[in-house]
Structure 1
Amino acid sequence: MPESLAPARRPDPATGSSARALCVAAGLTAALGLAPPVAATEGGGGHYPNGAEDFMVGALPPPGNYFLNYLSWYNASSFRDDSGERLFTDFNLNVVADTLRLIHVSKFQILGANWAAHLFVPLVNVEVSRRIAAPFARETDSRFGVGDLIIDPFILGWHGKNWHVTTGLDIYVPTGDFNQHNLANVGRNYWTFEPIFAFTYLSDGGLELSAKLMYDFNTENHDTNYQSGQEFHLDYTVGYHTGPWSLGVGGYYYQQTTDDELNGYSFLNGFRGQVFAVGPQVKYDYRNMAFTLKYQAETQVENRPQGNTLWFKFLYAF
């Protein structure tokens, strides 16, 4: 094991940010993920693409079959440490992801809730470059492929006059390609189990309050002996509906709750990530289709890339 990665040790503060960046670069595989990286965890990225959901997220649709397409572009020009300072002197990340989602909502009910199931298939292109400090050369890498699949065979949705609640357990399957020697990867090489609770309140006057709450349990990446910490995160929307249009403000909040571990020891004081993002969003409903456009800017970032995301989402009801 390199001396900089010895258990329970951190770079001497006197060596400055360059030594700390060296330690991060050596200890992480930079598995930058299935979609826009939004956590600390291994490589500064997590499984769930935070900010993916928005209007009416707590409302399971009526029985039937649905197709959704999530097209996103994430760009980050800095990687922040646990003080919010730049970790690398030169860093750039671009992730373009096109994620296909199929949903089946049945007429079968459990405890008054409709049962449903869904599947996500992400197509990902990752481009990343970094320079730790002079005189180190700039490293670059890019990858394209199918990312880690997401399945949930047991989703339940309840409905009231002005409220909707949906629960489930999303499972991230490590199907995407991963190589610990790559700077960029389209898969993360570990499983994630993510309980979900989503709710929507829609007033008679068209005011909407929605949120999707998630908590992630990650397994160990056995190729790198890296255990990503547990994560709490939520997508939120405050909106207004008028005719076929929905207008609002939304984004996400993320907080890592347990330490990252490398070879069984806490990595860089836990390397816990956090972020808050906000931006405008608009949706247009047309017959059996819906189109959503939104932009999200990240702030209050620690131990992860800091950037912005542009989303276009399409829904089709069969």
Structure 2
Amino acid sequence: MNKCKRAMLASAFAIWLSDAQAMEQYEPQLPGATEGTAAGLMPPPGLYGSVQVYTMAYTLHNNAGQATRDYANNKVISPTLLWNSGKKIFGADYGVQIIQPFQHTNISGSNSGTTIPSNAQWGTFNTVLVPVILGWHLSNDFHIKTAVAVNLNNASSSLAKPPAVPSAGAGNGFSSIIPNFGVSWLGSNWNLSANLFYSFNQPNSATQYISGQLFQADYTIAKTLDRWTIGLGAFQANQITSDSGSGSTQTPYNCVANNGCKERRFGLGPMLSYSFDGGMTAQLIYNRDIVTVNAMGGPFFNFSLSTPLNF
């Protein structure tokens, strides 16, 4: 494909994404990805691995919360490594984490007035490094955890760096710094948890666009009965500051006229997990957006496996 045609198609995807899409592209933290976990609990010292398979069938919603005719049927596979060092800092367990999501994008629709060509493909999302995790075990079955994550600007493709087959790209063309706070009460075989994130998104120098600061939270209410755990999970995303930069004021974004392109989402759904001998846990979550403004939203399934890695 010649560069001119590729640039034209990349522009079409930019128009599609920006038609009432908050942020410049994707949320830095996958909504609902930590539902079902004990958000405030640091596991015992050692190395842990997990993999998530997150499948979504989303529709773009505009500034009035109305569904458009543009769609995303994406899949995200996220391998994760977590290490509890066994060291103590300020009385807390110290750990680190790395996550490398892989995303399969498949965009369709014509709401923007441009027919979107076939574009299904895989790519790598921004690497997530968490160099500091501190977890405290408190009295009365309470646990709290704080962390700071950094999303690197290293996605294999983005709006500013379109792939060979033009699409929305596999990740964001900017980095993010994400403080995190989790709290859990784990008494009487219950898991009552909240996991809170606040994303400071850095400028995308290629597009002159700065995505606004974003608050996200995942919530869990679950009860363990022998090996089974059943419960309810929920997520929210509320953009606190408007998108800015010269790129955000231009057509087709027009964020000044669209409430700063501020995203607002809330969804919830059931969860079920099973614990095997040896510590492996399998979990399945279904969520559906109830409120979606300036964002993609709809149903998603999230299947995960997690296990201690005892070498």
Query: Given the two structures, how large is their TM-score scaled by the length of structure 2?
Result: 0.85
What amino acid is aligned across from residue 17 of structure 2 in structure 1? A
Name the SS of the counterpart of 2:207 in structure 1.
Answer: coil
Aligned equivalents of 1:315, 1:159: Cα separation in 2: 21
Identify the match of residue 228 of structure 1 among 187, 194, 211. Answer: 211
Query: 1:240 aligned to 223, 227, 245, which one?
Result: 223
Given that residues 209 and 248 in structure 2 are in contact (C-alpha distance below 8 angstroms), is that contact kept between their aligned partners in structure 1? Answer: no
Partner of 1:85 in structure 2? 66
- State the Cα deviation string for residues 54-85 of structure 1 (Å, max 9, x = none): 23121110000000101110111x21111111
User: Structure 1, residues 89-128: CA drift from partner, whole Å, max 9, x if none?
Assistant: x222111111110011011101110000010011111010
Hey, what does 1:304 align to over in structure 2?
295
What residue number does 1:273 align with?
263
Which consecutive residues of structure 1, in runs of 5 or more, have no partner in the other structure?
1-23, 32-38
More strand as a share of residues: 1
Question: How do 1:1-318 and structure 2 match up within 5 A?
Answer: 30=17, 40-43=22-25, 45-53=26-34, 54-76=36-58, 78-86=59-67, 88=68, 90-132=69-111, 136-160=114-138, 161-178=140-157, 179-180=159-160, 182-203=166-187, 205-263=188-246, 267=255, 268-287=258-277, 288-318=279-309
Are the aligned partners of 2:97 and 2:131 in contact in 1 as well (CA < 8 Å)? yes
Q: Deviations over 1:32-53 (max 9, x none)?
A: xxxxxxx82013x212111011
193-202 or 157-166, which moves further after superposition?
157-166
SS at match of 2:49: strand
User: Aligned equivalents of 1:255 and 1:176: distance in 2?
Assistant: 24
Deviation of the 1:130 alpha carbon: 2.4
Provide the C-alpha distance between the structure 2 equivalents of 1:122 and 1:68, rounded to a whole number of angstroms.
12
How many Å apart are 1:183 and its aligned residue?
Answer: 3.5
> How far is the alpha carbon of 1:137 from its aligned partner?
3.2
Q: Is the 8 A contact 1:29 1:183 kept in 2?
A: no
> What is the CA–CA distance in structure 1 between the aligned matches of 2:231 and 2:86, rounded to whole Å?
31
How far apart are the structure 1 equivalents of 2:290 and 2:269? 11
Residues 152 and 171, structure 1, Cα contact 8 Å, conserved in 2: yes
Alignment correspondent of 2:8: none
Give CA-to-partner distance per residue, 1:278-299, whole Å, 9 cap, x none: 0000111112211111100011
Rate the CA distance shift 1:188–1:264 in 2: closer, same or farther, 3 A: closer
Cα distance in structure 2, aligned partners of 1:281 and 1:132: 33
- Shift of the alpha carbon at 1:307? 1.2
Q: Which amino acid aligns with 2:206?
A: D
SS in structure 2 opposite 1:270?
helix
Q: C-alpha displacement at 1:28, in angstroms?
A: 5.2
Distance 2:228 2:238 in 1: 32
Q: Is this contact kept in 1: 2:15–2:112, CA < 8 A?
A: no
Displacement of 1:259: 0.4
Cα distance between partner residues in 1 of 2:239 and 2:226: 39
CA gap of 1:49–1:295, structure 2 versus 1, over 3 A, is same
* Cα 1:265–1:304 shift into 2, 3 Å: closer
Gaps of 5+ in 2: 1-10, 250-254
Query: 1:10 aligns to what?
Result: none
Equivalenced residue count is: 282
1:14 match: none
Q: CA deviation at 1:26?
A: 8.1
1:264 Cα deviation from its structure 2 partner: 6.5
Deviation at 1:206, TM superposition (A): 2.1
Alpha-carbon distance in structure 1 between the residues aligned to 2:97 and 2:202: 22
| Secondary structure in 2 matching 1:186 | coil
Name the TM-score, length of structure 1 as normaliser: 0.83
Query: Which whole-Å CA distance do the structure 1 matches of 2:247 and 2:168 have between them?
Result: 24
Structure 1 counterpart of 2:170, which letter?
A: V
Please report how far the alpha carbon of residue 312 of structure 1 lies from its aligned counterpart in structure 2 after TM superposition.
0.7
Identity of paired residues, percent? 25
- In structure 1, the partner of 2:3 is none
